[in-house]
Structure 1
Amino acid sequence: MNKNISKLLLPSVVMLTLAACGTTEKTSDQSDWVSLFNGKNLDGWTPKFNGSVVGENYNNTFRVEDGLLTVSYDQWDEFKDYKMGHLFTNESYSNYRVRVEYRFLGEQVTDDPKLAWAYRNNGVMLHTPPAQDMELDQAFPISAEAQLLGGNGTDLRTTGNFCSPSTNIVQNGELKTEHCIKSNSKTFHGDQWVWFEAEVHADGRIKHFINDELVFEYSELQIDPQDEYGAKWLAAGKPLKITQGHFAIQAETHPTQFRVIEIKSLD
Structure 2
Amino acid sequence: MKNRPFYLEGMVILLSVFFCCACMQTKQLSAPDEWKELFNGKDMNDWWVKINHHEVDDNFGKTFRVEDGMIKVRYDQYDDFNNRFAHLYYKKPFDYFHLIVEYRFTGKFHHNAPGYAIRNSGVMFHSQDPRTMYKDQDWPISVEMQFLAGLDDGKARPTGNMCSPGTDVIFEGRVDPRHCIESTSKTYPMEEWVRAEAMVYGDSLVKHIINGDTVLVYSKPQIGGGVVNNYNPSIKIDGKLLSSGYIALQAEGQEIDFRRVSIKEIPRTP
Q: Which residue of 2 aligns with 1:105?
A: 106
Distance 1:169 1:65 in 2: 36
Q: Structure 1 residues 230, 207: CA separation in 2 closer, same or farther (over 3 Å shift)? A: farther
Render the CA deviation track for 1:74-109: whole Å, top value 9, x for unaligned.
1112312x1100001100001000011100011201
Q: Structure 1 residues 159, 10: CA separation in 2 closer, same or farther (over 3 Å shift)? A: farther
Aligned partner of 1:59: which letter? G
Aligned partner of 1:58: which letter? F
Q: Is the 8 A contact 1:142 1:230 kept in 2?
A: no
Q: How does 1:1-267 map to 2 (within 5 A)?
A: 32-80=34-82, 82-110=83-111, 115-153=114-152, 154-224=154-224, 229=231, 232-234=234-236, 240-267=240-267
Structure holding more helix per residue? 2
**What TM-score, normalized to structure 1?**
0.83
Using the aligned pairs only, state the percent identity: 38
Superposition RMSD on alpha carbons, in Å? Answer: 2.1
How far 1:11 moved relative to its partner?
7.7
Distance 1:83 1:262 in 2: 26
Q: Which residue of 2 aligns with 1:3?
A: none
Distance 2:232 2:186 in 1: 32
Distance 1:145 1:109 in 2: 21
Determine helix, strand or coil for the equivalent of 1:187: coil
Q: Structure 1 residues 234, 151: CA separation in 2 closer, same or farther (over 3 Å shift)? A: closer
How far 1:188 moved relative to its partner?
0.3
Q: Is the 8 A contact 1:225 1:231 kept in 2?
A: no
Q: Is the 8 A contact 1:224 1:230 kept in 2?
A: no
**What TM-score, normalized to structure 2?**
0.82
Q: Which residue of 2 aligns with 1:19?
A: none
Render the CA deviation track for 1:222-264: whole Å, top value 9, x for unaligned.
11166764853255xx970000001000111000001111000
Aligned partner of 1:100: which letter? V
Render the CA deviation track for 1:101-151: whole Å, top value 9, x for unaligned.
100011201156xx2211100010011011101111111101110110011
Distance 1:176 1:44 in 2: 34
Q: Is the 8 A contact 2:165 2:225 kept in 1?
A: no
Q: Is the 8 A contact 2:120 2:149 kept in 1?
A: yes
Distance 1:203 1:117 in 2: 29
Q: Is the 8 A contact 1:126 1:248 kept in 2?
A: yes
* Higher mean displacement: 223-232 or 182-191: 223-232
Q: Which residue of 1 aligns with 2:3?
A: none
5+ unaligned residues in a row in structure 2: which ranges?
A: 1-26
Aligned partner of 2:117: which letter? A
Larger C-alpha radius of gyration, 1 or 2?
Answer: 2
Aligned partner of 2:120: which letter? N
How many residue pairs are counted as aligned between the two chains?
Answer: 237
